[in-house]
Copies of this chain bind each other. A is one copy, B any other.
Amino acid sequence: MSRARLALLQSNPVVGDIAGNAEQIVAAARRAVDAGADLLATGEMALTGYPIEDLAAEPSFLRAASDGVRALAGRLAAEGLGELPVVVGHPDGPHAPRLLGATNAPTAIAQNCASVLHRGEVVARYVKHHLPNYGVFDEYRNFIPEDDSLVVVAGDARVAVIICEDLWLDDGPVARVRDLGADLLLVVNASPFERDKDEVRLPLATRRAAEAGIPVAYVNLVGGQDDLVFDGDSFVVAPDGSLLARAPQFEEHLLVVDVPLHGTSVPAAAEPSLDEAGSPNRVAVLPDDREQLWSALVLGLRDYVEKNRFPSVVLGLSGGIDSSVCAAIAADAIGADRVHGVSMPSRWSSEHSRSDADDLAARIGLHYSVEPIAGLVQPFEEQLGLAGVAAENVQARARGVILMAKSNQRGHLVLTTGNKTELAVGYSTIYGDSAGGFAPIKDVPKTLVWELARWRNAAAQARGETPPIPESSIAKPPSAELRPDQTDQDTLPPYELLDEILDAYVSRRLGREDVVALGFDPETVRFVANLVDRAEWKRRQGAIGPRISGMAFGRDRRLPITVRRAPWVE
């Protein structure tokens, strides 16, 4: 019975760090050779990180990437690893746009490639056929496609190589794989995490494996890159639908797997092969929904901090649920010792705000300080004669100034703790509580913030640890506390209702009438939709934060600030 032993590298590259990313690949090649692998494959653009955005239009960057591929081939050979075929993802260029027939895409002078390195040379290259240019993807802007095929011979196997989006199209290159006489289909991916995306990817790959009649090996990147989080979840699926191996989500991993070829179908247990620890084909179990989301938020924050080399983070602790959850995420991401929380009570802050913040700080063990703002705000109020919203906003802005000053003093990254619901309706003070370089829960609706808080506490309890988030922060009615006895629900519909309307209006892009047709009160829909439309200018100036949905503010939803919607909806 024939088989191929594949090593799939689920790596966490840093965008632009060609030398560092190449080191990850060399180290993996060493382990792959030790494990007797026939082929090593990386994720899409593993050499440069993904997405490179308009770096694709910088000739010097593309030259560095092209040099980097050749250098990596040489380096592997010099290390005695040259016999192992390595499929590595990278951008290629610069190419003259005209030579590529792309007169209407003057900035796209790059190609999205997977190259085969062998015996010190770049021996073959596949160029991505289908360029996603929707949602978070801008590949038609940055790359030029081709439509040639590639088959790599690895041991007994003929391995057809495609890249990411190529797998998704019914009339894509998978349809040609049979004609190529391939025994195995390798898909090189940079597929960002979204809630429930694993419910799409694996069935898709399974369908393609059945269509082509050969196993599909799916290798993905892992790690945070600005607002995207790559979740890994690399796997191999047989044409009969059996899952031969699956790498853990949200971790760097080298998945070594024996893949039966030519229609042989052997249960993994009966045909032991090696993962990196020398154990049989590993089939990692996917964590449940909440754990996946929490892990994505943690990884997104961790990688933003580490890749940008921040020593620590600072955030305001109001005693409320949002800042509490952000603090818990930060502590899980980089350790409580690198997290600085500041309680900034005003004259309107309740006793529980202060005590809940104290409690949170103690539970998590983060650095904690208290900076009352009354003495900072009063001079503004008096000099400018402030009242109403203007006075409320000065309180929030004084807090922003405090956190930024602490950042200037100590190099902390400032976290801004707004959730997706607030961002949607503009329920925040720009340059105030929205100040910061990273927004850990910007793609988390308020109702999900509560759910994640409860999940995180329960997870702690299950492990015999102290739940990080005070029960009181979860249970009490949310309030901005910018005036006496204020609660969010004085101004906004109940969050359960609000999040449902936002899901329809924002995430599903429904028109106002279509939202009303779902059964919501027309006046409430109008009120909410107007808030959403008017807050676009604030969102445009907001911090980035990890995307966990299929419709995050930012890359997914690109709308004009200047727009008159009323005439066509009312």
Residues of A within 8 A of B (CB): 14-20, 49, 51-55, 57-61, 63-65, 68, 103-108, 130-135, 138, 140-141, 165, 168-171, 224-226, 303-304, 307-308, 371, 375-376, 379-380, 383-384, 386, 388-390, 393-394, 397-398, 400-402, 404-406, 408-409, 430-431, 435, 437, 509-514, 537, 540-544, 557-565, 567-569
Question: Which one, B389, B406, B565, contacts A16 given CB within 8 A?
Answer: B565
Closest to A225 in B: B562
> With A and B bound together, what is the CA distance between A132 and B379 in angstroms?
52
5 residue pairs of the A-B complex, CB under 8 angstroms, read A14-B563, A17-B564, A52-B560, A371-B383, A386-B405
Shortest CB-to-CB span from A556 to chain B, Å, is: 8
**Is A103 a contact partner of B409 (Cβ separation < 8 A)?**
no
Q: Which B residues are CB-close (under 8 A) to A61?
A: 511, 568
Q: Which B residues are CB-close (under 8 A) to A54?
A: 509, 557-559
Closest 10 CB pairs of A and B: A60-B511, A64-B568, A390-B408, A17-B564, A16-B563, A431-B431, A19-B567, A107-B134, A16-B564, A140-B140
**Is A165 a contact partner of B431 (Cβ separation < 8 A)?**
no
For the complex with contacts A59-B514, A308-B561, A390-B408, 7 further pairs of A-B residues with Cβ separation under 8 Å are: A19-B568, A103-B170, A133-B140, A380-B402, A384-B406, A404-B430, A404-B431
Q: Which B residues are CB-close (under 8 A) to A53?
A: 558-560
> With A and B bound together, what is the CA distance between A135 and B141 in angstroms?
9
Among A20, A68, A400, which residue has the most Cβ atoms of chain B within 10 A?
A400
> With A and B bound together, what is the CA distance between A380 and B19 in angstroms?
44
Q: Which B residues are CB-close (under 8 A) to A60?
A: 510-514, 568-569
Given A54-B558, A59-B509, A559-B54: A376 touches B375 (CB 8 Å cut-off): no
**Is A14 a contact partner of B564 (Cβ separation < 8 A)?**
yes
Given A60-B514, A132-B104: A562 touches B307 (CB 8 Å cut-off): yes
Q: Which B residues are CB-close (under 8 A) to A394?
A: 401, 405
Q: Which B residues are CB-close (under 8 A) to A19?
A: 567-568
**Is B104 a contact partner of A169 (Cβ separation < 8 A)?**
yes
Q: Which B residues are CB-close (under 8 A) to A430?
A: 404, 435
Q: Which B residues are CB-close (under 8 A) to A308?
A: 561-562
**Is B104 a contact partner of A509 (Cβ separation < 8 A)?**
no
**Is A564 a contact partner of B15 (Cβ separation < 8 A)?**
yes
**Is A15 a contact partner of B58 (Cβ separation < 8 A)?**
no
Determine how many copies of this chain the complex contains.
2
Among A55, A60, A544, which residue has the most Cβ atoms of chain B within 10 A?
A60
**Is A563 a contact partner of B55 (Cβ separation < 8 A)?**
yes
Closest to A378 in B: B379
> With A and B bound together, what is the CA distance between A65 and B14 in angstroms?
44
**Is B140 a contact partner of A225 (Cβ separation < 8 A)?**
no
Q: Which B residues are CB-close (under 8 A) to A59?
A: 509-511, 514
> With A and B bound together, what is the CA distance between A271 and B87 in angstroms?
69
**Is A169 a contact partner of B103 (Cβ separation < 8 A)?**
yes
Q: Which B residues are CB-close (under 8 A) to A558?
A: 53-54, 138, 141
Q: Which B residues are CB-close (under 8 A) to A375?
A: 379, 383
Q: Which B residues are CB-close (under 8 A) to A509?
A: 54, 57-59
Q: Which B residues are CB-close (under 8 A) to A393?
A: 404-405, 408
> With A and B bound together, what is the CA distance between A398 and B377 in angstroms?
11
Closest to A170 in B: B103
> With A and B bound together, what is the CA distance between A352 and B211 in angstroms?
77
**Is A543 a contact partner of B541 (Cβ separation < 8 A)?**
yes
Among A17, A57, A404, A405, which residue has the most Cβ atoms of chain B within 10 A?
A405
Shortest CB-to-CB span from A141 to chain B, Å, is: 5
Q: Which B residues are CB-close (under 8 A) to A304?
A: 562
